[in-house]
Chains A and B, each alone.
Chain A
């Protein structure tokens, strides 16, 4: 039975067991390291047993192969990837499209506005202005007349205002009253409040 001290002493060798399991070379020191490990294994049943157990494990692992999906699975998966790429590529493939679409819409809107403006300015069949333009002109004339009337009213009011007597200050009036007038005023006020 291995003692703890033996296990500790074997630790560096245990870490090198991989080189005995692997065919792949570890590097320049590989040959010397392998030779030293071989010597150790000949004299250490514990490490030899560990190596044998690892080999058995690898053999058991090799027995098991994950079942591969059928061929249709791969073609379906590829189609799925291509669909994913198509979705992913859509905005990248034509990055100008949205801008072109918005530009087209803006151009169409401008064109419509220009047509409407041009249409409004066209005379009707009889050679006169279009009905909407004629209506607009009438409204404008009416507004002008109403403005003129308002201005006249304002001028009259201002002239009347200049002829009005300025309002007298009540305090000045009281000062000008005589004592008898003040007594009479007080009696009248007393009569009003009573």
Chain B
């Protein structure tokens, strides 16, 4: 039970803008898990996910006076978090050392091992591996749609893309996941 139950985001934001800064705690409490889950799904690294979650709320706090309610607060947060995640992923591509760290981490967790060994891993690891292998934007759409249950309009707003494009991305992601998981099933047999 939270002291913010029964108070919607709009009301919390209104009070925040009137100087009741503590209401931001309520906004964090309400959205932190979603943002963290999204960041973890995008980056696959708990430390990086925690950093992105923290940075997302710091940026939201700073920019809240300019928030115009053109989308929901949650969608707005998702947009901030996704931009941070995509920026990190771009940076990791530009700086091979970061990518190397990621590879090392994956090898330690078993993701980078030979296919036969990979096929023996549990379903959770296989799914995570398959999701991690999606291109970043498809991964973002999949996570927002499948794990967060956002509708296509909300995802389009979060990614600043067309709804049709988002649908196409989701379908492509599903087809890739289907291929990846059925390929591993074949290796299991």
Residues of A within 8 A of B (CB): 15, 17-18, 21, 24, 26, 53-54, 56-58, 60-61, 63-64, 66, 68-69, 74, 77-78, 80-82, 84-85, 88
Contact = CB atoms under 8 A, between A and B. Distances in A.
**Chain A to chain B: the 6 pairs with minimum beta-carbon distance, closest first:** A57-B178, A64-B127, A18-B171, A81-B57, A84-B58, A64-B124
A78 B25 contact: yes
* Interface size bracket, B side: 35 or more
A81 B28 contact: yes
Nearest to A16: B171
Interface string B39-57: 0110000000010011101
B167 A60 contact: no
B61 A85 contact: yes
Interface of chain A: mostly helix, strand, loop or mixed: helix
A77 B127 contact: no
Contacts of A21: 174
Given A18-B167, A64-B124, A85-B58, A53 B178 contact: yes
A77 B41 contact: no
A155 B47 CA distance: 91
Interface in B50-75: 50, 53-55, 57-58, 61-62
Q: Which of A56, A57, A74 has the most CB of B within 10 A?
A: A57
B33 A61 contact: no
A78 B151 contact: no
B28 A57 contact: no
Contacts of A84: 54-55, 58
Interface in B164-179: 167-168, 170-171, 174-175, 177-178
A60 B123 contact: yes
A66 B171 contact: no
B63 to A, nearest CB: 12
Q: Which of A54, A58, A81 has the most CB of B within 10 A?
A: A81
A54 B177 CA distance: 9
